[in-house]
């Protein structure tokens, strides 16, 4: 059985202002600020110009929505409709990924956990995998871990060890 990916909510509002999300807000403000400046400078407004401005606004708005808005909504759902439970840790592993920069390549390791639990009212266990940034060392294969999941969407899960 292939595990599904967990939907990770924000742990707190402060998390929205960690890198790289914090770069998006000034980028959006600068791009929106350039619009009135360019209009005040007397540049000719053309259809191409308006399409470019609209596209830039959509791109930055979409980035903010996906990196800040959706995880915040999931965190609110978890807070509002969250159910406490336990999950069995099936597998812990470190996965390597390569970060390519103009000057050099860097190997980075990410911590992943595969776990299973049975949501309240469900007949079958749900097997999920999650990238864990904090609390990886506290989780042990074959042992149970405390979790909180959303009643309406059990893929929205937060481990107590991540707090």
Residue 105 clears pLDDT 90, i.e. is over it = no
Q: How many residues does the chain have?
A: 163
| pLDDT score, position 3 | 86
Q: What is the pLDDT at residue 7?
A: 86
CATH of 83-162, one of 3.90.1150.10, 2.40.50.660, 3.40.50.280, 2.60.40.10: 2.40.50.660
Mean of the per-residue pLDDT values for the chain?
A: 81
Query: Smallest Cα–Cα separation from 113: which of 62, 160, 51?
Result: 160
Q: Are 141 and 128 in contact (CB under 8 A)?
A: no
The residue ranges of DSSP E strands in 63-133, in sequence order, are 82-100, 105-117, 126-132
């Amino acid at each position: 059985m292939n595990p599904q990916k967990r939907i990770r909510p924000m742990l707190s509002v402060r998390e929205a202002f960690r890198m790289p999300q914090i770069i998006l807000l000034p980028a959006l403000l600068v791009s929106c600020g350039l619009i009135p400046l360019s209009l005040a400078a007397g540049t000719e407004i053309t259809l191409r110009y308006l399409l470019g401005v609209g596209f830039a606004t959509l791109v930055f708005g979409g980035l903010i929505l996906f990196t800040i808005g959706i995880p915040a909504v999931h965190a609110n759902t978890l807070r509002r409709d969250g159910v406490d439970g336990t999950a069995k840790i099936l597998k812990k592993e470190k996965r390597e990924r390569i970060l390519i920069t103009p000057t050099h390549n860097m190997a980075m390791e990410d911590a992943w956990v595969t776990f299973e639990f049975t949501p309240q009212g469900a007949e079958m266990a749900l097997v999920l995998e999650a990238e864990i940034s904090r609390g990886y060392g506290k989780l042990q294969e074959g042992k149970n871990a405390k979790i909180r999941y959303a009643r309406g969407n059990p893929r929205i899960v937060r481990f107590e060890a991540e707090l």
